[in-house]
Structure 1
Amino acid sequence: MVDQSPILRTGTAADLDSLEAIETAAFQSDRLSRRSLKRHLANRSARLVVAEDDGVIAGYALILTRRTSPLARLHSIAVGPGHAGRGIGGLLLAAAEHAARHAGKAGLRLEVRPDNPRAIGLYERRGYQRTGVRPAFYADGAPALLYRRAFGEDALPASSPIAA
């Protein structure tokens, strides 16, 4: 049997149950509600990309854009149980970067918990620079580390990693 990479595609309302399950498994607090996920799926300034592996939603990335901001925001990225350690987070991050660039943004910014070394390592390996700290950002009072990456000529491939 050949191990194939997950398919990256735009999320749909049919993915809500899976997205909600991933949220519940991935985050102890500050979870997106089903209602919020549904709203983001319909929002023209949001892009929700899912990684589908053998018919199962393995993870997602939610990117927000504002007309008035030169940067897009990676609101959330999560990989479901049983799918961690397979490179899906990196694929989703690349898809988020592509979506931001496609939206005409000069870069991507994000917040991450300081107690999430796996995510911090991914962002730093991908060229994100720490730009500050936002105290008491999360519901439990934890601060957020602020990161950003500007897109250069070599930042992303020309072709989209996201299936229609």
Structure 2
Amino acid sequence: MPTNADGVVFRDMTLEDVPAVDALEQRLFPTDAWPLHMFLAELSQPETRRYLVAESGGEIVGYAGLMCIEPIADVQTIAVVPEFEGRGIGSTLLTRLITEAGLRGAADVLLEVRADNPRAQQLYVRFGFEQIHVRRGYYRDGVDALIMRLQLVPEATADPASADPAPAHDPTTEAGKA
């Protein structure tokens, strides 16, 4: 199992993890926590979902999930317990979700982030996400959601007929030639 420098293990979320993840969800997002059955429903759809956990000392300290229905992937959730923030766990989870989105053929990765959560917004901007929309009053307590997008496949901006032709074959790049 892959680990980071702090010995944190990253792995796929299992059904056995759901009670611990649910407890963290209730603790970290008391106003907007997902009900337990949502995690169970998400894990039952591996053809379009991927959920991960981060563990330290046998305890789950972070989790994240992705839904991907080509050509769009959506970060469903990402969380790290406060005691483990600043150790690269959120970045590792996000990196793995973005990689998964690419492997599943997504052109874009979308996510919602609370307008009053600058730390998360900064993380997403570092990864190349751009704000594309605001959903007013999206969260239960009335806070807006910022909709952010990371383009994995750039939008076509040129007519394919006018694109540069393929480079000419260069025999000096063949094996054995220098």
Q: TM-score, normalised by structure 2?
A: 0.78
2:25 is matched with which residue: 16, 23, 26? 23
User: Percent identity among equivalent residues?
Assistant: 36
Match of 1:55 in 2: 58
SS of residue in 1 equivalent to 2:83 = coil
Match of 2:97 in 1: 96
Instruction: Report the more deviating stretch, 117-126 or 78-87.
Output: 78-87
Give the Cα separation in 2 of the matches to 1:19 and 1:145: 24
SS of residue in 2 equivalent to 1:9 = strand
Give the Cα separation in 2 of the matches to 1:30 and 1:117: 18
Match of 2:132 in 1: 131
SS of residue in 1 equivalent to 2:91 = helix
Give the Cα separation in 2 of the matches to 1:46 and 1:126: 21
* Alignment check: 8 A CA contact 1:25 1:80 kept: no
2:44 is matched with which residue: 36, 42, 45? 42
Following superposition of structure 1 onto structure 2, how do residues 69-148 of structure 1 map, counting pairs within 5 Å?
69-148=70-149
Match of 1:10 in 2: 12
SS of residue in 2 equivalent to 1:82 = helix
Q: TM-score, normalised by structure 1?
A: 0.84
Give the Cα separation in 1 of the matches to 2:30 and 2:57: 27
Aligned-residue offset at 1:81 = 4.0
Determine which structure has greater relative contact order: mean sequence separation of CA pairs < 8 Å that are 6+ residues apart, divided by chain length. 1
One-letter amino acid matched to 1:13: L
Aligned-residue offset at 1:42 = 1.3
Give the Cα separation in 2 of the matches to 1:42 and 1:83: 28
Match of 2:34 in 1: 32
Gaps of 5+ in 1: 154-164
Q: CA RMSD in A?
A: 1.9
* Alignment check: 8 A CA contact 2:67 2:73 kept: yes
SS of residue in 1 equivalent to 2:60 = strand
* Alignment check: 8 A CA contact 2:116 2:143 kept: no
